[in-house]
Homo-oligomer: A and B are copies of this chain.
Amino acid sequence: MSAGIRIELNHKLYLRDPDQTDLGRAILKESIRLIDELGFEQFTFKKLAQCIHSTEASVYRYFENKHKLLLYLVSWYWNWLDYRICYHTHNVADAAERLRIFIRILAQYQIKEQLSSYLDIESLSRIVVVEASKAYLTKEVDNDNNNGLFQDYKSLCHKIAMVVLELNPSYPYPHALVSTLFEAARKQWFFSQHLPSLTEVKGTQQGQESNLVQFLTHLAFDAIKGTNFSPVS
């Protein structure tokens, strides 16, 4: 019933659809705030329940455990990113320009446009930067993958990989390049904030385009149009 975009996620991510009830929406909204504030390790269902004036048991009726909740939030984010990318590229004919737009959106962690969701996108973006890798860096990754819990991320990567192939049909690593761009966008942003000696990227740049976008753009286009490519044996 909520206005604005509606995002459908794999139903194996949850026990009860949190988007359908007041309590469910409160869980989503407040968990984003709490994970952003405490970090995923310190975040617990008990603390969440206290924040929303509900109980631990009620939260467990929506999500099997906090890992599934993280998977849900991250999937939601990739869906939302996909939506934004489509919105900004649907009438752009030039593949290079589409890729440029994609990178600009990918690297944009301080969001202006809200597209009317009840979730705090800026907070969620920060969570994705810090916690998204933990969604798959587990012993359950193969099981989760078999259940399709990474489908949104994989689809999005594939979509962009097709743009890369459009630019250079003989480039042999389109998916690897795109997944590297995804990971690098988050990591370089994180490094700029916390381990600045690992990167020239600066997090705080107003006015001009962020140099994260510049770094990723050059990395991508140089790789795609690379002259250093000898045919694969």
Contact = CB atoms under 8 A, between A and B. Distances in A.
A145 B201 contact: no
Interface in A107-149: 130-131, 133-134, 136-139, 141-142, 145
A91 interface: no
B145 A137 contact: no
Contact of A139 (B39, B153, B177, B227): B39
A214 interface: yes
A215 interface: yes
Interface string A178-195: 011001100110110011
- The secondary-structure label for the interface of chain A is helix
Q: How many copies does the complex hold?
A: 2
28 contacts: A39-B138, A41-B138, A42-B139, A130-B137, A131-B137, A141-B194, A145-B194, A145-B195, A154-B197, A157-B197, A157-B198, A172-B211, A173-B215, A173-B218, A174-B200, A176-B198, A176-B200, A179-B198, A180-B188, A183-B184, A218-B223, A218-B226, A219-B219, A222-B226, A222-B227, A223-B223, A225-B227, A225-B228
Interface of A: 38-39, 41-42, 130-131, 133-134, 136-139, 141-142, 145, 150, 153-154, 157-158, 172-177, 179-180, 183-184, 187-188, 190-191, 194-195, 197-201, 208, 211, 214-215, 218-219, 221-223, 225-229, 232-233
